[in-house]
Amino acid sequence: MSITAVNASIITIGDELLIGQTIDTNSAFIAQELNKIGVWVKRRLAVGDVYDDIWKALDEESKQSQIIIITGGLGPTADDITKPLLCKYFGGKLVVDEKVLTHVKYLFEKIFRRPGPMLERNLKQAEVPDVCTVLHNERGTAPGMLFKKDGVVFISLPGVPHEMKGLITSKVIPYLLSAFEMPAIVHFTAFTFGQGESMLAELLQDFEASLPTHIKLAYLPNYGMVKLRLTSQGDYKEEVEKELQPYFERLQELVKDFLVTNKDVGIEVVVGQILKAKGKTMATAESCTGGYIAHLITSIAGSSAYYKGSVVSYANEVKENVLSVQHETLMTVGAVSEETVKEMVSGTIKKLNVDFALATSGIMGPDGGSDEKPVGTVWIAAGNNQKVETLKLNLRFDRQRNITITANNALNFLRKFILANS
């Protein structure tokens, strides 16, 4: 391999990241996009709105990486630290960029439709250091800025995720592709469900030992699923893929009992693809997952082709009145029971007129448990108009994690039911 990886550092600026008020989703997006074009993110660093800390971060990261992506510190109420700092760091002065100014005025007059004159702080968004290349931000008032110093490229972007994403896709990636010669990085991901990380590792011990040193296997456990990722790099994407393919096939063969798909997607995407291919429909009846399964499914554009809806029957009377669960069932065996989830499935198939239905009922905690049904007791049912199958889980996590694991397990259970019954 002759082309070596280009290293990048991502610096995020903002006190909100350091007091934990905001979860940093920007870095993951940027890392993904850079990775796709063969840039290896070596370090991600978050610093506060502190002049010296930002300056130091620029100094340090530029010693380790050829590309520095900076997000945050540019909004209309930012502490006015970042832009003057960049100006000084790269030896320029702030000037009004006419194109940005026109754009800011356009946004305020036509899009935001603010009455009255524009605010000074908004007009200041059009000021940029005269030593930068302006990256036009279609989606907001703060432009991206590109600087070069001692062979290192620095790109400063606003921290608003929607604006940052637009700039990364439309400006940053095309620029980097034109400016650097990058190796091709290829990831192949096998998505497994139903077996723990340790046992998979045991199963794959010999396989892992047989891999050439430049091919890496990573275990990515996530709420009941484990993704197995093979990574390699080289000069040409096609060559890397060709070399990796037989290893990936062997990997899939070894884990075939647990394999969901050979793509890096969510379980809700897999269920949707199966339904779409078969021309079938589904609906959900959610008690303990409280709409989270519906949310996962409807987050996918186009899900209305196979998903009709959900009855989030949080109260027992909704299970009775909307889903026709029998009063006697709820009184004798309770809402968290095999009978109840079975009746929820049957009621959903009839009421929502679908081919398949999925139901959940459980105790997510921290309260509501009993000796007989402790917190973490969950019943899942999946079925069609012929039969209904059930699964019981005994979870032992906190509320959020119990909800997520239940949703993933339920979707995987439905996936298996559909494949076995259609």
51 binds a copy of itself (CB under 8 A): no
66 binds a copy of itself (CB under 8 A): no
308 binds a copy of itself (CB under 8 A): yes
> Smallest gap, in angstroms, from Cβ of residue 268 to a copy of itself?
11
Residues 6+ apart with CB under 8 A from 389: 381, 382, 383, 413, 417
> Smallest gap, in angstroms, from Cβ of residue 398 to a copy of itself?
7
Instruction: Please select the residue that binds a copy of itself; options are 1, 3, 5, 48, rule is CB under 8 A.
Output: 48
211 binds a copy of itself (CB under 8 A): no
> Smallest gap, in angstroms, from Cβ of residue 281 to a copy of itself?
8
Q: Are 335 and 363 in contact (CB under 8 A)?
A: no
The span from the CA of 265 to the CA of 257, in Å, is: 18
By rule CB under 8 A, what count of residues binds a copy of itself?
Answer: 105
Instruction: Please select the residue that binds a copy of itself; options are 2, 21, 178, 213, rule is CB under 8 A.
Output: 21
Tokens describing residue 112: 């935001």
Nearer to a copy of itself, 332 or 353 (CB): 353
Tokens describing residue 264: 């890096």
Q: Are 332 and 259 in contact (CB under 8 A)?
A: no
The span from the CA of 350 to the CA of 384, in Å, is: 10
Determine the length of the chain. 422
Instruction: Please select the residue that binds a copy of itself; options are 105, 187, 278, 280, rule is CB under 8 A.
Output: 187
121 binds a copy of itself (CB under 8 A): yes
The span from the CA of 292 to the CA of 302, in Å, is: 18
Dump the DSSP string for 133-189. Answer: EEE--TTSSSPEEEEEETTEEEEEE-S-HHHHHHHIIIIIHHHHHHH----EEEEEE
**For the range 248-253, what are the long-range contacts, defined as Cβ-Cβ under 8 Å and sequence gap of 24 or more?**
248/188, 248/190, 250/207, 251/188, 251/190, 251/204, 251/207, 251/217, 252/190
Instruction: Please select the residue that binds a copy of itself; options are 1, 3, 37, 45, rule is CB under 8 A.
Output: 45
Nearer to a copy of itself, 85 or 132 (CB): 85
> Smallest gap, in angstroms, from Cβ of residue 219 to a copy of itself?
4
Build a one-symbol-per-residue string for 273-302: x at contacts with a copy of itself by CB under 8 A, - elsewhere.
----------xx-x--xxxxxxx-xxx-xx
Nearer to a copy of itself, 243 or 264 (CB): 264
The span from the CA of 150 to the CA of 148, in Å, is: 7
Phi first, then psi, for residue 220 (nearest 5°) are -125, 85
Q: How many CB atoms lie within 10 A of CB 205?
A: 10
Nearer to a copy of itself, 115 or 151 (CB): 115
Report CA Rg, the chain.
26
Tokens describing residue 353: 């007129």
115 binds a copy of itself (CB under 8 A): no
Instruction: Please select the residue that binds a copy of itself; options are 3, 37, 42, 92, rule is CB under 8 A.
Output: 42
Instruction: Please select the residue that binds a copy of itself; options are 1, 152, 211, 318, rule is CB under 8 A.
Output: 318
Task: Using the rule CB under 8 A, give the single segment among 147-155, 159-167, 247-255, 325-333 that binds a copy of itself.
Answer: 159-167
> Smallest gap, in angstroms, from Cβ of residue 324 to a copy of itself?
12
Build a one-symbol-per-residue string for 341-380: x at contacts with a copy of itself by CB under 8 A, - elsewhere.
----------xxx----------xxxx-------------
